[in-house]
Structure 1
Amino acid sequence: MGVCLASMAPATALAQNVNGAIAGRANAGDMITVINPETGLTRSVSVGANGSYRLSQLPVGNYTLQVSRDGQAVGQAIDVSVSLGNATTVNLGAEGVVDMAAVQVIGSRVISPVDVSSTESATNITAEEIARMPVDRNVASVALLAPGVAGGSAGFGGISFGGSSVAENAFYINGLNVTDFYNRVGFSEAPFDFYQEFQVKTGGYSVEFGRTTGGVVNALAKSGSNEFHGGGKLVFSPRAWKSSARDSYLDGDRYLTRSRDSTDSARVNLWASGPIVRDRLFFFAMYEGRDISPESTNNGGTSFTRGESDDGFWGATMDWQLNDNNLLSLMAFSNKNRVDNETFAYDFDDNRVGDRLSRSYSENGGDNWALTWTSYLSDNLSMKLMYGNSERDNITASPSDGDCNYVTRASGVPDPGVPLGCTNNATIYDRNDQREQARADFEWAMGDHLLRFGIDRESNTSDLDQVYAGPGGIQYNVYSTTPGAQIPGAGIVPPGYTAYVRARRYSIFGEFESVNEAFYLEDNWSVSDNLVLNLGIRNESFDNRDAEGRTYIEMDDMWAPRLGFSWDVRGDSTTKVFGNIGRYFLPVANVINIKQGGALLDERTYYGFDGWEIRERDGVQYAVPILGTQFGFDNSQGDGSVGDLRAEVDKDMDPVYQDELILGFQQQLNSTWSWGVRGIYRKLNNAIDDMNITATHCGRIASRWVMANPGEDVTVWGDTDCDGVDDGYLTIDTSKAGYWTEADNYEYINGEWEYVGSTPTGQRGWVKPDRTYKALEFQVDRAWDGKWALNASYTLSWNEGNAEGPVNTDTNFGDTGRTENFDDPFVNYRGDGPLANDHRHQIKLRGTYAFNDNWRVGATLDARSGGPITALGVGNPYNWKSYHSYFICVENCTPPENAQDGDTWSTDDRVFEHSPRGGAGRMPWIIDLGLSLAYERTFDAGKLEAKFSVYNVFNRQEPVWVYQELEPGVGDRDEFFGKERFLQSPRYGQLIVSWSF
């Protein structure tokens, strides 16, 4: 009897996140046996009465599949690959032969490029594929290979999936969630050689995954086998192979200095793997030694910082196959790293390094581990239990912290000609984040139904101690301005001042915890041989706690339904139509616990700028600002005490969630070529942010900052009977009320404008947050056949609304969940338009070509149209407050210069024009081409591999972000508006040489 393979494709939605599966249809009663020849793992299952079978929870790897009947082998064994998070489908006929029209054969392995049983959108990339191309050695670079994924544009970095902000993603290693829960922008990462395979999920993913409204990157660490292997690798990227970054100039004056920034980087990796007990216990272990030396100047080119980092990385996995039905796996790594910096005075024109100004150091990373137990309880029921811990340190400090305040100056402020302050360390910062994670996942095959269900719990704790450096814990920031300008949160700049000083005192400490829990249930129903339905439901709960361990934000019973289908149109696995619809929830980052639930002190005192005072320390001169007339003070963000959080947090807060709809088509053209198209619709339905509530039913109240849902009902502790005493909960419809508007009035008396009071103008409400992403993705793929491979995609998208997400790229604000977008009702009023991550066009290419057995070339191209530019103003036609806005003052912006005693002026006299989001044009296209040339040769003793890669071959250094504040103050114009701030990284080269055996 022959074996007929009607399909052999990965079913992403049908497997748990660190394993894979093999499933399909065969003759009822037959026995299906798979063996991993590298580890000896053997699994057998009987085909059910309905003709279906499934071998779940299989470790990723290569297997042989054999059919037997009545104890006798039937046909020839087949080679089958199991990849991360996928189920490989193998349908077996009774008398047929291999259907070559529906499959691709590489060697003896049979692969179908069309996945007829998957309902989600995901890209799998192995370490072997990456080795054939110029892909930089970090997880973000792998994620950027997937369609619809773009790099963040602002200074806080990150990656954006499908129009979401960079603070909405999730990252896993061997099932352990390593996402940064403090700010949600970064994640814990291991060196590239620790990974075996990556899966990038860009939409429609299973209910097993949650706590993200962006994308998921799922990584698998390497493991051992029955054969001993080992090797070493050198990764070399010297500063001589990096082009100089481009400095930025305005009217011939340099305002951003980058050309002296460079890094020397050398990494040496040693690894080994093999059996401890053959067919039972295996190990993989690696150590990476690192020597990294960054150098950089400050923006003005007046100081030069040299760093040194030589901490190593270690990582290991251990897999114990107690028997064929029970597996125990351990993954552990430590990515602790310290960078020591020395800062010197610097003469840019002479390229001369002077006296040392200060020292500082930073520490990050930590220990991470996950222990996983997998058990096959029966032919149809499997279980996976996981417990793990992820740790991240974040420390910055300096020996001069006790003696030196940090000083900055903005553009337009006179240069003192000597360094600012005597330290380059702004903050004494010590934070440790630890995630304790536990989860249980089950799979139960019941005829045409595959039930998947499980629970998971995370306890995320941040232990923080933070204070500004220097005497008094004060930081001095000097800004340019004009007399009479309105400074947000401060007041009117006194006459005669063209610059002002903000003296900010800031401190906070405590231990803050968030607990996230979920359970899920999913039914993968094979309605027929051609139709699969995926029916899932997930229930989430988020519990954020203050510095005393009390719950202050609690959201539960968040139901996330997800429905999907896949239709094998022709029944031969060559053409499919698929789709899904689902809801996804986003937890509140721990930074909110700290800022809202801690004893935060944030005092901002404003002074006129009376010039620079030149001081000397250790023989080195430095400048500090001379404080002039005080004209403002604000501690509304934190007065050093933990307030009554009932009055600062919405009691009935709704979560942030996103709804998503995807429809797609995919077709196999021949044995190697396939193509597909996907339509995507995503809508963000809510936001959580800080809102300045200044009015209730009682009228105007003392200003309070409340974490709540803008544009929705807000329930806080307050004065219910208007007697001046908070005595119960009251509800404010913030779509109509909650903010007291007024105009400030001034009278010209004895040669000066004097404030004479305010005029109430009524209550106003907030607009509701809105973000909509619509896209069409086209993709063509040519599978690797030992000679060449190609993948090309084009994404046409529209990302529009008035809220990017929990961070704000427009204003370069990365403090998650505390953006300025909803501080008052007018920050986002008439603020609809293209959002920061709106890249209308995106083209991606990746491929490789082998000249012969030894030489090959690779290439990657990432080209995307530039993001929108907004001319942000301050102030608005409805209120005197001066937050960012989508209005520009064009008349009567400041008090008249030629005033007479008795003249009056009011902020209500200002005339504004609407400045729409994205109305100032677009940034240029970002085009990044990478090329690589690789050589490999096998000897009796092992294999030699070498690859030289060049990134950003054309050395394009286009701006990825420009200054977007047209008005630094009401009526003022910033000469730097529209000028470049962050650029593409310059061209650089990298050599990798490895020996393995």
Structure 2
Amino acid sequence: MTFTRKSALCLAMGVALASLAPVAQAANNDGTVVGRTQAGAAVTIRDPATGFARTVTADEKGNYRISFLPVGKYVLESRKDGKLTTQPADVTVTLGNATTVNLGVKDLEGVSVTATSVITAVDVSSTESATNISREELRRLPVDQNIASVALLAPGVNKGNASFGGITFGGSSIAENAIYVNGLNVTDFYNRNGYSEAPFAFYQEFQVKTGGYSVEFGRTTGGVINAVARSGTNEFKYGAEFTLEPGAWHYRPKNRYDANGNRYLASSEDRDGMMKTNVYASGPIVKDKLFFFAMYEARGSTPRNTSDDGTTLTSNGAKTGFWGTTIDWRINDNNLLSLMAFSDKNKNTGDVYDYTFDTRTLGAKTNQIFSDTGGKNWALTYTNYFTDDLSMKLLYGSNSRQSYTRSLSDLECNRVVAETKVTHAVPVPGGATLGCTTNSTVEKRNDTRKEARADFEWKLGDHLLRFGYDHEKDTSDYKRHYTGPGAIYYNVYFATPGSTINNTGGVLPPGYTAYVRARRYEIAGTFETTNSAYYLEDNWQITPTLLLNAGIRNDGFDNKAADGSSYIKMKNMWAPRFGFSWDIKGDGTTKLFGNLGRYFLPVANVINIKQAGGLLDERTYYAFDGWQIMDRNGNQYAIPKLGPQLGGVDTSQGSGRVGDLRSQVDHDMDQVYQDEAILGFQQLINTAWSWGVKGTYRRLHNAIDDMEISATGKCGGDGYIGWVMANPGKKVTVWGDTNCTGKRDGWVTIDTSKEGWAMYDADGNYLGQRGWVKPKRTYTALEFQIDRAWDAKWAFNASYTLSWNRGNAEGPVNSDTNFDDTGRTENFDNPWVNLGGNGYLPNDHRHQLKMRGTYSLTPHWQLGGDLTVLSGGPITGFGVGNPYDATNYHSYYICVQNCSSDRSEDRVYERSPRGKYGTMPWTYNLGASITYLMPLGDKGQLRAKFAVYNLLNQQRTVAVDQDLQTSIGDGTNSTFRQPLRFQAPRFMQLTVSVDF
């Protein structure tokens, strides 16, 4: 094969610019090669490493397509009447992409090519938006070794700023994403925050889909992370990788002090440390037929952290072996069978000690906390090429995740937490700790997904039909209760005498300045959800330069109660998607593309469990009578003394019984879905550079959330229904009282945009009803990208995103109030919570700048850099109560006069809209790395990379206390706008690998 330097660059660009180019609709664990050659020519693609080959015949227009190709490097050639029409071309097949190779047809404009094979850098067969990042690129960059860090390289993807973490795509919440490994869905289905993750060295390539993805992907209104594992070849290979992050290489986080100089976060003794050793081997079991890749990773992690007040220190230790493997059987050139499996099981032990922060004095060990997470995952995939034009892929697999947390003190110690204002007003005698455990719950959960799917491609002339079916059975075995005698969690809150405490009539008596909430929370059962979908898509090449894409996906899901009956069941969720791609010049260098699509979001299993599983959520309120000192193994601790009980026992969130589900779920509920529109332009500048611009608009429709319906249109305040999973602001049909007799005897429909909440004056007189606002969320963005392809000397990618994220609902979680109970947010508990709540949402980051690149100083030394600049999110001052009702949920109103009155009509409120108090500071996160490469013999290599993350050691605020008022009549919260969470401090990482 003979190529000029420029034609070699063209080949490199076809791979490297996949990070900029939208990608074609290919299956979710492989890639495709398409192009043009002489009509009737036989086009053969061959993998020299495995011997796999496939041949197709170009149609009468010279078009060919080879789909469902495993990711890897191939040789492509075209023959007519037995003779080569071109020199063979080296082709790299990347994940989820269609690489265009024109054989003997047309050269790139302005590029002199001695061979007649051209790989174009702009994928004109695509309408998706995605970023591809290979293992080799990641080894050149300062990117931490986890999937989230890879996803954050893509434009519009950011970290969630709540304590529960996660990542957000295009203004969505962290609970709306989907993650795949070799086609297996590994997304956490319990609360959709998290996923199963193989050891990082197991992955070969990643694809981050940020919009416009095809109909084979669903159950997400955020983004998709798609990964493929490494595999074996005919050449035996082996190696090891050692990663070191000693605690001394993690810089100390800063202690935090309030306006009066009082420390409220003791952080400077928090430390992390990690070491892992990975060994792997790959090669043939049977040459040209059967191959393996296997790896094992021994990992040790030793993080430690102090409590916020510095009175306890927890020293953690995790020593667990992770493993992963792939086995590939090339049965013949038309039949492939692949197995992928990995384990991410982890066991952690945390030793809890008494601690005196100011003197750094470690006391006696008071507790030991154990947590087990992760599980085993596997997928078996069969690929069949029936004909040149018809291919099939079948997958069956399992994804399992366990979560089990317990401690030695679970039986003896109740969890106790108190507001700072309480401990300042009533100090704990002798400086004793609150409670004798830092573990609040005993929780055991085993989640298992069984997945099966079938995908087909059928080329019919100018049409490419793609169709398929997928089915999941998601089962959660769940047990949970609080620790200590009676399984009770004590929270102590500051309040003023006369304050309304709860919805059972509790009022704080004179002489008391605080109250105690004693909460008992228990649930157990097995809960199942089934998700299924089928899809059909047509890619119609109307002209050689214009492609139209039309697809439809039909989703259905069935969330079941503990007894196996359907709790929330929805079907016929039709998701149409349309796109186009116009090859403006006809040479693959300039493209205009766009798409319209609808995407549905399923209900997380946490809803089945907490709403339809016999949940006992019992809340009893008492006046706070001071601290009682207790002793456990010679260690003193404090629990609250309980004064008079305030009101009745509140079981409105769960009585311990599975009630009549017809009264708990809207009979005609609408699904949650998002509509998206994208319009983009992409152009190749020269052999190395390309640029693009894209506009995106997303609009979320509906929410499924819990609402307390306390009135009906016919019966008024006498028509109490209770807590219902429904669509706020829409008509809700439940089993209720049709004749106002106090008995539920039929279906009742309430238009919750106008009614559903009973209003009373302070004397108990019924005043009428109020309805809910409809949920709203929009995301509008303009994105620019420029890319310089890697040519063994340097590479560069930069993106800037200007965006607006507005509405009154972030999604199924609330990060501004740190609420991660997916689908059970506070937003719609009653009509007043979200009244006036429209504005900029927590994930609104107006400006996002991302840059990454590598420069090769010499053949042995490489420099890498990664920079993210992000504007801060909005700051809202939440109040409690409102001008119309006495409830004490978060609200967008604050009381300014007569706040101590227990009559809501006597109080004077003013609105406190979203974002009124500005934004959090901009954050700057710069990473840098230097890599040394040295050959070892003929085929070996030593690689040593030293990376520094957050090089400037920025520890800027990413979240603040947004509670302007914490109770009615309490005045302004002294900790309002106080910083709570920050950028992780600088840390360093050394990775040394040897490969043979």
Match of 1:765 in 2: 771
- Counterpart Cα distance in 1 of 2:969 and 2:476: 42
One of 373, 377, 382 as aligned partner of 1:373: 382
Q: In the alignment, is residue 860 of structure 1 matched against residue 866 of structure 2?
A: yes
| Sequence identity (%) | 59
- Counterpart Cα distance in 2 of 1:643 and 1:910: 38
Asked if structure 2 preserves the Cα contact closer than 8 Å seen for 1:690 and 1:706, the reply is: yes
Q: Secondary structure at the match of 1:928?
A: strand
Match of 2:529 in 1: 514
Q: In the alignment, is residue 989 of structure 1 matched against residue 995 of structure 2?
A: no
One of 944, 953, 956 as aligned partner of 2:954: 956
Residue type of the alignment partner of 1:810: D
Where do 5+ consecutive residues of structure 1 fail to align? Answer: 745-756, 896-904
One of 898, 911, 915 as aligned partner of 1:914: 911
One of 341, 348, 351 as aligned partner of 1:342: 351
One of 38, 46, 60 as aligned partner of 1:49: 60
1:639 to 1:104, Cα distance in 2 relative to 1, 3 A: farther
Q: CA deviation at 1:909?
A: 0.4
Q: In the alignment, is residue 141 of structure 1 matched against residue 152 of structure 2?
A: no
Match of 1:37 in 2: 48
- Counterpart Cα distance in 2 of 1:880 and 1:419: 35
Q: CA deviation at 1:357?
A: 1.1
1:8 to 1:988, Cα distance in 2 relative to 1, 3 A: closer
One of 303, 311, 315 as aligned partner of 1:294: 303
1:340 to 1:103, Cα distance in 2 relative to 1, 3 A: farther
Match of 1:610 in 2: 625
- Counterpart Cα distance in 2 of 1:945 and 1:616: 55
Asked if structure 2 preserves the Cα contact closer than 8 Å seen for 1:50 and 1:447, the reply is: no
- Counterpart Cα distance in 2 of 1:885 and 1:703: 23
One of 90, 100, 105 as aligned partner of 1:89: 100
Q: CA deviation at 1:103?
A: 9.4
- Counterpart Cα distance in 2 of 1:928 and 1:8: 30
- Counterpart Cα distance in 2 of 1:257 and 1:389: 42
* Mapping for residues 536-685 of structure 1, pairs under 5 Å: 536-632=551-647, 633-685=649-701
Q: In the alignment, is residue 14 of structure 1 matched against residue 14 of structure 2?
A: no
Match of 2:924 in 1: 927
Residue type of the alignment partner of 1:308: G
Q: CA deviation at 1:111?
A: 4.5
Match of 1:159 in 2: 167
Q: In the alignment, is residue 735 of structure 1 matched against residue 753 of structure 2?
A: yes
Once structures 1 and 2 are overlaid, which stretch shifts more, 712-721 or 905-914? 905-914
Match of 2:317 in 1: 308
Match of 2:91 in 1: 80
Once structures 1 and 2 are overlaid, which stretch shifts more, 876-885 or 369-378? 876-885
Q: Secondary structure at the match of 2:433?
A: coil
Corresponding residue pairs, total = 973
Q: Secondary structure at the match of 2:420?
A: coil
- Counterpart Cα distance in 2 of 1:274 and 1:531: 43
Asked if structure 2 preserves the Cα contact closer than 8 Å seen for 1:113 and 1:672, the reply is: no
Q: CA deviation at 1:892?
A: 0.7
Q: Secondary structure at the match of 2:610?
A: helix
- Counterpart Cα distance in 2 of 1:836 and 1:915: 15
Asked if structure 2 preserves the Cα contact closer than 8 Å seen for 1:104 and 1:111, the reply is: no
* 1:343-395 Cα deviation digits (max 9, x unpaired): 11100011011011111100100000000000001111000000000000000
Asked if structure 2 preserves the Cα contact closer than 8 Å seen for 1:2 and 1:75, the reply is: no
* 1:509-530 Cα deviation digits (max 9, x unpaired): 0000110100000011111111
Asked if structure 2 preserves the Cα contact closer than 8 Å seen for 1:273 and 1:283, the reply is: yes
Asked if structure 1 preserves the Cα contact closer than 8 Å seen for 2:704 and 2:728, the reply is: yes
Residue type of the alignment partner of 1:694: S
Q: CA deviation at 1:769?
A: 0.3
Q: CA deviation at 1:743?
A: 3.0
Q: Secondary structure at the match of 2:905?
A: helix
Residue type of the alignment partner of 2:987: Y
Match of 2:136 in 1: 128
Match of 2:227 in 1: 219
Q: CA deviation at 1:425?
A: 1.5
Residue type of the alignment partner of 2:831: P
Using structure 2 for the length normalisation, give the TM-score.
Answer: 0.96
Residue type of the alignment partner of 2:397: G
One of 219, 227, 237 as aligned partner of 1:229: 237
Q: Secondary structure at the match of 1:197?
A: strand
- Counterpart Cα distance in 2 of 1:100 and 1:267: 49
1:968 to 1:813, Cα distance in 2 relative to 1, 3 A: same
- Counterpart Cα distance in 2 of 1:420 and 1:724: 45
- Counterpart Cα distance in 2 of 1:376 and 1:2: 32
Match of 1:467 in 2: 481
Q: Secondary structure at the match of 2:24?
A: helix
Q: CA deviation at 1:342?
A: 1.1
Match of 2:795 in 1: 789
Q: CA deviation at 1:8?
A: 5.8
Match of 2:432 in 1: 418
- Counterpart Cα distance in 2 of 1:969 and 1:418: 27
RMSD across aligned C-alpha pairs, in angstroms?
1.8
Q: CA deviation at 1:52?
A: 1.4
1:568 to 1:488, Cα distance in 2 relative to 1, 3 A: farther
Asked if structure 2 preserves the Cα contact closer than 8 Å seen for 1:267 and 1:291, the reply is: yes
Residue type of the alignment partner of 1:800: R
Asked if structure 1 preserves the Cα contact closer than 8 Å seen for 2:25 and 2:128, the reply is: no
Asked if structure 2 preserves the Cα contact closer than 8 Å seen for 1:743 and 1:880, the reply is: no
Asked if structure 2 preserves the Cα contact closer than 8 Å seen for 1:8 and 1:103, the reply is: no
Asked if structure 2 preserves the Cα contact closer than 8 Å seen for 1:124 and 1:197, the reply is: yes
1:104 to 1:295, Cα distance in 2 relative to 1, 3 A: farther
- Counterpart Cα distance in 2 of 1:711 and 1:387: 40
One of 774, 780, 792 as aligned partner of 2:786: 780
- Counterpart Cα distance in 2 of 1:826 and 1:357: 44
- Counterpart Cα distance in 1 of 2:89 and 2:538: 29
Using structure 1 for the length normalisation, give the TM-score.
Answer: 0.96
- Counterpart Cα distance in 1 of 2:265 and 2:657: 39
- Counterpart Cα distance in 2 of 1:109 and 1:686: 51
Asked if structure 1 preserves the Cα contact closer than 8 Å seen for 2:86 and 2:117, the reply is: no
* 1:817-871 Cα deviation digits (max 9, x unpaired): 0000000011111110000000000000000100010001100011110000000
- Counterpart Cα distance in 2 of 1:489 and 1:165: 30
Q: In the alignment, is residue 266 of structure 1 matched against residue 275 of structure 2?
A: yes
Residue type of the alignment partner of 1:915: S
Q: Secondary structure at the match of 2:575?
A: strand
Match of 2:716 in 1: 699
Asked if structure 2 preserves the Cα contact closer than 8 Å seen for 1:102 and 1:112, the reply is: no
Q: Secondary structure at the match of 2:764?
A: strand
- Counterpart Cα distance in 1 of 2:169 and 2:378: 27
Asked if structure 1 preserves the Cα contact closer than 8 Å seen for 2:102 and 2:117, the reply is: no
- Counterpart Cα distance in 2 of 1:524 and 1:689: 38
Where do 5+ consecutive residues of structure 2 fail to align? Answer: none
- Counterpart Cα distance in 1 of 2:54 and 2:906: 80
Match of 1:210 in 2: 218
Match of 1:24 in 2: 35
- Counterpart Cα distance in 1 of 2:253 and 2:291: 47
Q: CA deviation at 1:406?
A: 1.1
Q: In the alignment, is residue 65 of structure 1 matched against residue 82 of structure 2?
A: no
Match of 1:242 in 2: 250
- Counterpart Cα distance in 2 of 1:368 and 1:297: 34
Asked if structure 1 preserves the Cα contact closer than 8 Å seen for 2:41 and 2:62, the reply is: no
1:703 to 1:727, Cα distance in 2 relative to 1, 3 A: closer
Asked if structure 2 preserves the Cα contact closer than 8 Å seen for 1:65 and 1:77, the reply is: yes
Residue type of the alignment partner of 1:692: E
- Counterpart Cα distance in 2 of 1:374 and 1:34: 16
Q: CA deviation at 1:92?
A: 2.7
- Counterpart Cα distance in 2 of 1:720 and 1:991: 70
